[in-house]
Amino acid sequence: MVAIEVERSSFSYDRKRVLENLSVQVDAGEFFGIIGPNGAGKTTLLKLIAGLLKLSNGNIKLFGESLNNIPIAERAKLLGYVPQENFFYFGFTVLEVVLFGRHPYLKQMERPKKSDIDKAIEALKFTDALELKGRNVLELSSGERQRVVLARALVSEPKILLLDEPTAYLDITHQIEIAKILKKLNQEGITIIFLSHDINLTSLLCNRLLLLSDGKIVACDAPEKIISNEIIRQVYKISPHIVSHPESLKPQIILPS
Amino acid sequence: MQKSKSWFILIILLVIAIILSFGIGPTGFSLSDLTIPLEVRLPRIILGIFAGGVLALVGASLQGLLQNPLVDPYTLGIASGASFGAVIGYMFGRIGVFTVPVFSFLGALVTMFIVYNLALVRSRITKVSLVLAGVIMSFLFSGIVMLLMVLTRKPLTEIIYLLMGRLNVVFTNELLISFIIIFILSAPVMMYLFSKWRSLNILSMNEEVAESLGIDTQKLTRNIFIASSFLIGLVVSFTGAISFIGLCVPHIIRLIYGPDHYKVLPLSFLLGASLLIFTDLVARSIAPIELPLSVITALFGVPFFIYLLKKRL
């Protein structure tokens, strides 16, 4: 089953072309990585899929249905979106923040029910953040915050999870922690779109990578096909060493000295 | 339990405010003659509940919507915009009792959208630019109000009350009826603001997250702007512009009861109502002449504002 279908899509901002005539398909259950240099249009693509930006041209379908025809509340149940920057303005508790994710399931004035709270607890357990339940979100460390934000996205029970650099501000311990959670989610059948600058991590996690540069697709294939000296040099203008990961045999890059 | 307790304390506070305001005044209080308390003090108590409650409710809604601790109807210039509208309304005076409230609402609404767009720099709004735009518009409208009132030969005291607030409105029968109708009209608008507690909570995370969770933030912003302008327009058309109630009250409530708008919105209304009645009591008791309300609210409001400026930005 095709989860996401981007058809000849373009996006312009202030008369500047950010994405040009992009076509890509993601199957349900994929762990799909989006990589590319700064300004390649990765975040824009993610926001277009999330319905946060309007396409200038083309069409995006989720499970065969055009994004424009999906009511905003239904879309909210289908997609979980985690932006790169997660600010909190008020000092809500972690549980309260996770419960925000139940919004699409609640009626206008309805308070979260017992069943919603159970789902929130379950989500927190899944992201290994249950002990943070009563904490003030303003006082969380980056690693803790990221697990809470993930739980908030999970509690809406999405079929597709869109993640904008979820490991960007984390040390390697917390990067691996998030990676493990995402793998577990993917095994439960959730399609994951993982945007990152970390080529090595995407190579380890994703079954397929989309390499963007200047708003165009350079390549879209398995990591083994994408992470090659030739392609990396062409896109990033550096010549790294490429080795196989000793366990998974996935390609890993080592920066040139 | 926590919830019922929080309501309880604030309702007691309001009741105390009402009793004190009802009983205290230059002619004192005796059960044998209730003319003054009933005819002079009761109307200003009711007006005080309405005005104080609305100011605080709108302040809380706007602070949540714009994620900005420094905004309220006064700092955003909406109150002065409403005063400006009210003055224009006075000039057309004879059309009907609703002329002033309607013009006041329009003044508030136009100001709100001007301020919002002035603060919008490259499709982003910073906390400071919003307040700056509000202050600028506030100066402009206060100036124009002064000018218009002087040109139309209104007494200076009128101007001061319009720009700084009062509750000593003389209710003629006509005015009383319009007040009652306005009160009824504003009930569903207030209900709308109360009903948006969950959206306001979610907006405190990130506008994009809110959108991704199914909240139409543009529509919400527009609706809350219109609702706020409507309510502030009505209040200002009766009481003039009153400062700081809308700014301080939501902060006090959040400090005590936490940031959940489910509580913050109604509790702000209650505390705003009590505070304004107390303010009015002070304003008419401490000096031989009645002071404009903003004189009193500024005395505790300004230090509070400075504290926020230093601490929260």
Q: What is the pLDDT of residues A98-157, one digit of tens each?
A: 999 999 999 888 899 999 999 999 999 999 999 999 999 999 998 999 999 999 999 999
Residue B147: CB atoms within 10 A of its CB come to: 12
- Using only C-alpha atoms, chain B has a radius of gyration, in whole angstroms, of 19
Q: What does pTM read for this prediction?
A: 0.90
| B302 token code pair | 């300004």
CA distance B191 to B210: 21
Domain B43-312, architecture per CATH: Orthogonal Bundle (1.10)
Domain boundaries along the sequence of chain B: 43-312
The reported pLDDT for the residue numbered B39 is 78
Q: What is the pLDDT of residues B256-310, one digit of tens each?
A: 899 999 999 999 999 999 999 999 999 988 888 888 999 999 888 888 878 877 7
Interface of B with A in 200-219 (CB under 8 A): 201-202, 204-206, 208-209, 211-216
- Sign of the Cα pseudo-torsion (B12, B15, B19, B20, in order): positive
Mean pLDDT, to the nearest integer, of A19-33?
Answer: 95
Give this complex's ipTM: 0.89
Nearest to B260 by CA among A84, A87, A157, A137: A137
Q: Does A138 touch chain B (CB under 8 A)?
A: no
Q: What is the chain B residue with the closest CA to A107?
A: B198
Q: CB distance B67–A89 less than 8 Å?
A: yes
Confidence at B100, pLDDT banded by 50, 70, 90: confident
Mean pLDDT, to the nearest integer, of B208-213?
Answer: 92
Q: How close does chain A come to B66, measured CA to CA in Å?
A: 10
Q: CB-hemisphere CA count at 13 Å for B58?
A: 35
| B290 token code pair | 């009645």
- Do the Cβ atoms of B109 and B233 come closer than 8 Å? yes
Nearest to B201 among A51, A100, A108 (CB): A100
The mean-pLDDT minimum among B26-35, B86-95, B102-111 falls in: B26-35
The reported pLDDT for the residue numbered A105 is 95
Confidence at B70, pLDDT banded by 50, 70, 90: confident
Residues of B in contact with A152 (CB under 8 A): 209
The reported pLDDT for the residue numbered B121 is 78
Confidence at B87, pLDDT banded by 50, 70, 90: confident
Q: How close does chain A come to B74, measured CA to CA in Å?
A: 22
DSSP codes joined into one string, A116-162: HHHHHHHHHHHTT-GGGTTSBGGG--HHHHHHHHHHHHHTT--SEEE
Chain center to CA of A233 = 26
The reported pLDDT for the residue numbered B98 is 80
- Do the Cβ atoms of A221 and A209 come closer than 8 Å? yes
Q: Percentage of chain A with pLDDT > 70?
A: 100
The answer on pLDDT for B1 being more than 70 is: no
Q: Which domains does chain A have, with CATH numbers?
A: 2-87+158-254 (3.40.50.300)
Backbone angles phi, psi at B92, to 5 degrees: -90, 0
With 0-12 CB in 10 A as exposed, 13-18 as middle and 19+ as buried, what is A100?
buried
Q: What is the chain B residue with the closest CA to A89?
A: B204
CA distance A146 to A170: 9
Chain center to CA of B43 = 18
